[in-house]
Structure 1
Amino acid sequence: MSGKKRSEETTPEDTAHLSHAPEHDISEDKISRVGGGKMQRRLRRYNIRMLIASVAILMALCAVLLVRIQDLNGTIGNMASQIARLTGVAAQQQEELELLRTLTEELSAALEEKLSDGGKEAAGKKDGQAGEKSVEASTPGITAAHKVYLTFDDGPSDNTEEVLEILDRYGVKATFFVVGNQAEQEEEMLKKIVEAGHTLGMHSYSHKYSELYASVESFAEDFTKMQNYLEEVTGVKSLVYRFPGGSSNTISEVDMKEFARYLDGQGVCFFDWNISSGDGGSYLFPAETLIENCTKNVSKYSTSVILMHDSASKSTTLEALPTIIETIQAMEDTVILPITAETSPVQHIKWQENEG
């Protein structure tokens, strides 16, 4: 009965509604699923676009950075080239300054030699032969009227070996005023000079005028270093000295008498010259000129101290030396000797107290 009532209470509209209800629910699920899929695809496409855009932006930034790096590399390269060029210019200027300094010193030394030679000759004419008689009496057993002392400054050098051979060939002894920092490369030559019976004299250790003549203290330091060095290498204590530029040089701001007195206090005698070969400057005189300079005035003096230079650049000095020796040996009553500590020196300045 109840079933019948329920059946009777059910209207056609209800039946239709009930029959359509499941279909309506299925459609909404489908729509919901379809809509969700579209959103996911849209979101995926959006993400992909954003990723592509991000990659593109990064690539663009990388490209900009690469361009900037290349520009910076170019700038750095240009700067490095400019620095290298400036360094080269600075080095060239330094070399030119050093060359100028060397030429100035050589010119000053050559000028001093000329002035000293002229002053010595004038003094000889004025004072007669008084000074030279004392030199003549300084070498016992030698009675020659003309004594000649060949001296070589600035060695040892690449030429020293040949100089020694020439001297030995003619049986001549000479005097070598050597430079300490130059001798460090030629210590065997120092030994050969001594072994051959020549006199080894000092010509300073540094040969740098500005340092050597800065004060008596700086001179003393250089002198002590030089004397000790030569004795250490050769076993011989040198007692003869020649001032770079001579004792009458005008480069030293300290009175040269002070240095002369210092040497005297050390038991050392200094020697200048009264004949110059003229080979002290940078200009290379021909051998004929050197021969004439070294020999033309020998007969005027009872004692001739001849200045020459022993350095690798003095090729014409080597060329002239045999003829210089032959010419002097051919002179009447003339002998060539080495300087010793007993030799009364030729000096350009008066430095002793009793000389005024």
Structure 2
Amino acid sequence: MSPKNMSEDTASEDKASRTDVRGVDIAKEKKKQAAQLKRVRRLRRCNVRMMILSVVILMALCVMLIARVRTLDGTVARLTAQVDSLMRLTAQQREMMEKMTEETQSAMGDKAVVGSLEKEAEGDEGTESGEPEEEEPDAAHKVYLTFDDGPSVNTEKILEILEKYDVKATFFVVGTACENNEEALKKIVEAGHTLGMHSCTHKYSELYGSVESFGEDLKRQQDYLYEVTGVKSNVFRFPGGSSNKVSDIDMKEFAQYLDSQDVRFFDWNISSGDGGSYLFPTETIIENCTSNISKYSTSVVLMHDSAGKSTTLEALPTIIEKIQAMEDTVILPITGGTKPVQHIQWQDGE
């Protein structure tokens, strides 16, 4: 074979080889493109499914939310109805309590005896007395503000209010309340107020168990107050009042025992109504303490000096202002010359 022919054959073979290579490359490229297209389609199907699933989940959540909202609407409506019902019930209870307070106060005023103690003007001769020996001024209406169950965290604030209005009052203190408030006892005496006794523990079962236990309680408190303040208290208020229904022993026996010890007891004929657990509104306390004063020549006003009586503390300035504005009316502490207000007639022959 001539060199020329050999060259032509080689060139043909090279050309065919290159054509085969290009064909293979094209086939590979098409295969690659087909695979990519398949992946793209698969991803699209997955995305569509995810979108459909998301829409379904969102719709389900919306349905659940709507159902929950409707349930809450029903709950809110029920709660609103219950609140309205409770408010009406509270208003009714308050109205009933105010009515009961008014009736009790009226009953006490009718029942109370003023000046039933024959030795009302005597008192102790010595200087050591819980009742300041002052001659009381003449007035058509004498008002005695009294505070039971103290001293407490409110005592100092009460004393500040009384000082501001230049008013003297009477504090019937409880022994257990005095233990951590001895400074308050001293301030009561130093400010010229009357220091009275209201038992050591205020526990009816112990106090009224017998005349002997009553006497022991009285002496223990009287001695304690004298030790702390240098004042011998000679005025007493029965826990629950002398007309209480708790004691199984006739309260006359306790009253007669007090008389044998030269101790006078004082009840009340006007009540603030703050003695229970219900916290009366300030306006009610003011009304209770001032509305009936004009009915009596002697008004002994019952209030309480204990930590929970915030509305009594709030009402006190207005109570004083209203009483001081009344014609021919004075506010006084209980003294040796004060006519006692007592719920029971306890002397023999009465």
TM-score (norm 1): 0.64
How far 1:120 moved relative to its partner? 3.1
How far 1:131 moved relative to its partner? 6.9
The correspondence for 1:122, drawn from 110, 117, 120, is 110
Asked if the contact 1:117/1:273 (under 8 Å) is kept, the reply is no
CA distance in 2 between partners of 1:286 and 1:119 (Å): 22
CA distance in 2 between partners of 1:149 and 1:216 (Å): 29
Q: Which residue of 1 aligns with 2:330?
A: 335
Deviations 1:303-335 (A, max 9, x none): 000000000100000100000000000000000
How far 1:342 moved relative to its partner? 2.6
Asked if the contact 1:269/1:341 (under 8 Å) is kept, the reply is no
Q: Which residue of 2 aligns with 1:223?
A: 218
- 2:238 matches 1:243: yes
1:219–1:113 Cα change, 3 Å: farther
Deviations 1:94-151 (A, max 9, x none): xxxxxxxxxxxxxxxx9x9888634333347xx9x9979x989x98451110000000
1:171–1:202 Cα change, 3 Å: same
How many residues matched? 242
- What SS does the corresponding residue of 1:200 show, helix, strand or coil? strand
Deviations 1:277-299 (A, max 9, x none): 00000000010000000000000
Asked if the contact 1:113/1:245 (under 8 Å) is kept, the reply is no
Deviations 1:11-36 (A, max 9, x none): xxxxxxxxxxxxxxxxxxxxxxxxxx
Asked if the contact 1:285/1:316 (under 8 Å) is kept, the reply is yes
1:171–1:236 Cα change, 3 Å: same
| Counterpart residue type for residue 117 of structure 1 | Q
Higher helix share: 1
- Greater shift, 281-290 or 337-346, is seen at 337-346
- 2:310 matches 1:322: no
Asked if the contact 2:222/2:233 (under 8 Å) is kept, the reply is yes
Q: Which residue of 1 aligns with 2:93?
A: none
CA distance in 2 between partners of 1:174 and 1:113 (Å): 23
Q: Which residue of 2 aligns with 1:310?
A: 305
CA distance in 1 between partners of 2:246 and 2:197 (Å): 19
Matches of residues 60-99 of structure 1 in structure 2 within 5 Å? none
Q: Which residue of 1 aligns with 2:130?
A: none
The correspondence for 1:157, drawn from 133, 137, 152, is 152
The correspondence for 2:195, drawn from 193, 200, 206, is 200
- 2:252 matches 1:257: yes
CA distance in 2 between partners of 1:216 and 1:115 (Å): 32
Asked if the contact 1:179/1:205 (under 8 Å) is kept, the reply is yes
Matches of residues 131-150 of structure 1 in structure 2 within 5 Å? 140-150=135-145
CA distance in 1 between partners of 2:174 and 2:221 (Å): 8
| Counterpart residue type for residue 346 of structure 2 | W
CA distance in 1 between partners of 2:287 and 2:216 (Å): 39
- 2:179 matches 1:184: yes
| Counterpart residue type for residue 120 of structure 1 | M
The correspondence for 2:168, drawn from 141, 151, 173, is 173
Deviations 1:45-93 (A, max 9, x none): xxxxxxxxxxxxxxxxxxxxxxxxxxxxxxxxxxxxxxxxxxxxxxxxx
CA distance in 2 between partners of 1:331 and 1:274 (Å): 18
1:206–1:114 Cα change, 3 Å: farther
| Counterpart residue type for residue 349 of structure 2 | N
CA distance in 2 between partners of 1:207 and 1:255 (Å): 18
Asked if the contact 2:242/2:342 (under 8 Å) is kept, the reply is yes
Larger radius of gyration: 1
- 2:341 matches 1:346: yes
User: Which structure is richer in relative contact order (CA contacts within 8 A, separation 6 or more)?
Assistant: 2
How far 1:195 moved relative to its partner? 0.1
CA distance in 2 between partners of 1:302 and 1:340 (Å): 16
1:141–1:341 Cα change, 3 Å: closer
- What SS does the corresponding residue of 1:353 show, helix, strand or coil? coil
| Counterpart residue type for residue 258 of structure 1 | E
| Counterpart residue type for residue 185 of structure 2 | L
* RMSD of aligned residue pairs (Cα, Å): 2.8
| Counterpart residue type for residue 242 of structure 1 | R
The gaps in structure 1 that reach 5 residues or longer are 1-109
Q: Which residue of 1 aligns with 2:293?
A: 298
- What SS does the corresponding residue of 2:341 show, helix, strand or coil? coil
- What SS does the corresponding residue of 1:331 show, helix, strand or coil? coil
- 2:209 matches 1:214: yes
Matches of residues 278-297 of structure 1 in structure 2 within 5 Å? 278-297=273-292
CA distance in 2 between partners of 1:240 and 1:284 (Å): 28
Asked if the contact 2:272/2:302 (under 8 Å) is kept, the reply is yes
TM-score (norm 2): 0.65
